[in-house]
Amino acid sequence: MQTVAGAEFERTAIRTSSSVIEWSDIPQVVAMVSSDLAEAARASRRRRGRVTERRNILALIDAGREDEAVNLLAEGFHLAAAVGSRSTKAALEAAARLYAGDLLDTAYFMNRPHQCLEGQSPIERAEESDEGLELVLNMIGSIEAGVYI
């Protein structure tokens, strides 16, 4: 007996046109298909010349290249993750605590308006004042702790 969304049924396998997928293998099949789709999208971007290298800020810092990491945060690509000293501090915290150093994810977070910040982005709020920076750092800590905000 299998339970899905509260309903019980006896299906133990799914028959496709070319094979039988055991019920217990479905999570792995979904993961493989998702991975294949992601790789196909990357290959398509490569063919069209739209490959963007994803730089890891923490890797740069670990390699003793902190200035380069800060410059990447300030320069960004089309989206800067920091514009001044306060937002740089907030962006480095977000990169380290939430996004494993990923520049793209950090820049997106820093520029996305947030309800917790009264519709401002973390980059805007952090640059306003020391209190704004503290609010952004507290928000990062809450997200890291798993609090939905």
Residue 77: predicted pLDDT: 58
Residue 98: predicted pLDDT: 93
Cβ atoms of residues 99 and 80 within 8 Å: no
Question: pTM (2 decimals)?
Answer: 0.51
Residue 118: predicted pLDDT: 92
d(CA 10, CA 111): 49
CA 59, 61, 67 angle in degrees (round to 5)?
130
Q: What is the DSSP letter of 78?
A: S
**pLDDT digit string (tens) for the chain, length 149 residues:** 555 545 554 555 555 555 666 666 666 666 665 566 666 666 665 665 544 566 788 888 889 998 888 888 887 655 678 889 999 999 999 999 999 988 889 988 999 999 999 999 999 999 999 999 999 999 999 999 999 88
Residue 73: predicted pLDDT: 82
